[in-house]
Amino acid sequence: MSQELPKPQPADVIFVYSKGKDAFLNVALQKWIFDKERDHGPWFSHVALALNDRLGLEASTAPSDTDEPTWSGVELKEGVRLILLPDLLIPSRDWRVLRNAKASELAKDALEIKQPYIFRGL
């Protein structure tokens, strides 16, 4: 029997707690300063948006020299960028994904790359 795979949908909001010092400090700042009233987990260092079942959109700083290569091997850029969902999730230490029940009612092309609000930042 073949391995069952994740079932991403457009507009899934993917929260991750990444590995590495950037993520650690990011979460530390949230815990100690910005969300110090928040007395529960989970904590996330990053959030991205699924555009389809393969690609996500995220805003990120430039990859550093010490970053591990992505799972897929593609080289990521900085700023607002596309990311393959496995490149986002496989190296993460934890993740949670939220979905709006109305997301399935979105226009089919609402999150396609041809939309100015998607490609403008890329």
Partner 1 sequence: MRSSSHIFSGVYESKYSIEAFQEYAANSASLIAGVSDIFGFGDDWTSAPNDVAAKVGQDFRNRVLRDFPDHEFSFESRNFYCSKLVIAILGVVGLLPDRDVDARVTPSALFDELKGMGWDDVTDGSYPEDQVQGWDATSKVPWQTDYFDGVGQAQFWSNHEAFDELWRIVEKQFAHADRRIQAYLDLLDDLRNGPQKADPRLRAERWSSKKPFR
Cβ closest to partner 1, residue 5 vs residue 68: 5
CB of 68 to partner 1, least distance (A): 14
DSSP state of 101: G
64: which residues sit within 8 A by CB, 6+ positions away?
22
In angstroms, give the least distance from the CB of 94 to partner 1: 9
Judged by CB, which is closer to partner 1: 68, or 114? 114
Closest separation in Å from C-beta 107 to partner 1: 6
**Phi first, then psi: what are they for 55, rounded to 5°?**
-115, 145
Q: Evaluate the omega torsion of the peptide bond into residue 42 and state whether it is cis, within 30 degrees of 0.
A: yes
Residue number with CB closer to partner 1 (68 or 117) = 117
Among 35, 40, 47, residue whose Cα is nearest residue 94: 47
